[in-house]
Each structure stands twice: as C-alpha cells, then as structure tokens.
Amino acid sequence: MNLLERTHAGFAATFGHPPVGVAFAPGRVNLIGEHVDYNDGLVLPMPILAGTAVAWSPWAEDQIDAVALDFGNARDRFTIGVAQPHQPADWRSYLRGMAGCMAERGYRAPGAKLAIAGSIPRGSGLSSSASLCVAVGRALAAASGTPARPPRELALAAQAAEQEWAGVNCGIMDQMAIAAGNHGHALLIDCRNLSTQQVTLPSDWAVMIVQSGVQRGLVDGHYNQRRNDCEVAAAAIGVAALRDATSEQVEAATLGPTTRDRARHVVSEIARVGAAVGAIEAQNLPALGMILRASHASLRDQFEVSVPAVDALVRCLNTAIGSNGGARMTGGGFGGAVVAVMRSEDIAQVEAALHDGYRLPDGSTPLLMPA
C-alpha cells in the first residue's frame, strides 16, 4: 500500500466514509545554499519522492477535524480563526498554523475533515514540517472549492505557519522548493524577490540522500541563534542582509570571531550556489563535487551546524564517490541527512562502500533514499 492509498484508507477508517480527494506535497533536499535563505541569498533545493499526503473532505462545521495516522491516530479538532498554537510545538501547531495563515490570506475553508500521513523520516533534514504545511494548504484549498493556490502564496502561508505557530524563525527556501519545484530539477530561488529558475540535472547524474541516524530539531534554539548571529553581522557591516555583503566587508567589520565566521559562511555559500548552477549547466560533475565539499567544510567549521556522525558519513561518501561528484550535509544541521551527487553508474559501488565502511550511531547500516 503506497502513501496515498494508506492515507485514503486511514481517512475512511477514521471518519466512516471515503475522502473526496488526497493532496500531496513532497519533501525537499537542498543541493547547496544552506542557512542563506533568511539572509536574502540564493539557494538550490529540489523536491524528493517522499512527502506528505492529506486526505480531505469538506465539512459543514466551521472546524477542522484531523487525524495524524503516523502518531497513533492522534486527533486534533479546532475552530478556524479561534485556535491557538499547540504547546509544545508538534504536528498540531503546523496544522493549526496553516489553517490560520490560509484564512488570513482570504483562503478560508468552511471546514474540513483531514487524515494526514507522511513518508519523510522525521528529524531527517528533508523538511517534513514544510511538506506538511503545503500539503495541508492544498487540501484546505481543495476542500473550499477554490482554485489551487499559486506556489508563492502557499509558500508564504507555510512560512508564516512555521514562524508564528511553531516558533521556528525559518526562511522561505523549504516552502518554495516544495510548492514550486518540479521532480528531476533543482530550483534556483532568489530568496529576496522569490524569483525561481528550474535547473535540469543531467540524465546520467544521480542524487542520493543518506540518513545520518542523528535526529535533529530546530526549535531547541540552535537555528534561531544562527539567524540572530547573521543579523548582528549584517548590522555591524551596515547592510540590510548578508546577501549584500562582500568578503572584504566581512573581514573589515568589527565582529567577534564567532559572528565573523557565520558571515564568512553565508557570503561564500551564496557564491557557491551560483558556481554550482554553472557546473550543472556545463555538466561538470567534478566541479560540482568540489563545490559540495567546500560547502560542507564551511558548515562544519564556520557555521558549526554539523555533528561528528554527519562528518563521518560525508567523508565515507566522498571517498567512495571520488572525483566524479561529492557529498555534504543538507538541511538546518545538528543531524539529519547528507546529500550526494554522483554518476548514475556509480550508485551500486557507493552503496556497497557505505554498507561495508559506515555504521550509524546505533550500529545499523545507513538508510539510502533516491531523490
């Protein structure tokens, strides 16, 4: 039973009748451009096969009645426009937030029954929260009988839901990648004006996602602190955002060592995104591999969001891939997933190298996911 079938069946078992429809939103993996979206930078994510499904049916009541099939059929029922954020933040916070933020933008469903299920490992760094928000937004729009929301509108509502209802001061990358991305393409996003460009990956390249076995969380303060560091650096340099800063300005500014390192990463990472797009368009996989490796080193040493288990996994992948590609951590950091780009013909040997040479912190073999 696939995800859509499982969600459809879960809805029927919960509410006693089949849903009218099932909405879906993918997760995303970020090829490069980490921690630069909230600095108005450039990012290069792509949607993945795993995602979130929301089975829906309109309801005459001015309420949402939802079941989370992956959380022991936990329920949440609330009146749209009246509900408060759930504390501590969990799936109900994102659900209530998306309903509230959609309503604020004039897309208010009269009420709906929802069944929610997903195939993205939680805490994997593949944006299960943004996937949930966008899938809920699509389901509520369908339940209201209104046309599908433009990707930009869905993304902004999802971002607001995460910020205002779950306490994660996130950028816009995840939501835009999920709402506007096309499978098989990376999506170049200018996070200042939300313009996008589809970047086609060569057909003989493969993108592999590998779980580190370290579940991460963003609401424990690390993410928000990194964002604050960047804002302090931008203010000291005298720019609106680090997108506008140069390496020379970073070095000349009066900054503490930690804040300077945060700014160094952001400025260099934005430059790496442009270089990565050029490498993809030129079908230069060795060049892209070098860019991915430099990104990981910067995230590890300057932005300090990697952890030893992730570093070990990246080293194992880079050794197995060799010069024809590369790997780096992906997502907010402190665990989660690693992304690798390689020749399609090298997949089997890379998988074998991981199986023989790397173990997760619990001693098991790593979980590999195709993008």
Catalytic site positions: 174
CB 167 within 8 Å of CB 89: yes
Determine phi and psi for 17, rounding to 5 degrees.
Answer: -155, 155
**Residues 75/79/81/82 CA torsion (nearest 10 deg):** -90
**Whether 339 contacts 126, CB under 8 Å:** no
48 within 8 A of 174, measured Cβ to Cβ: no
HSE on the CB side for 176, CA within 13 Å? 25
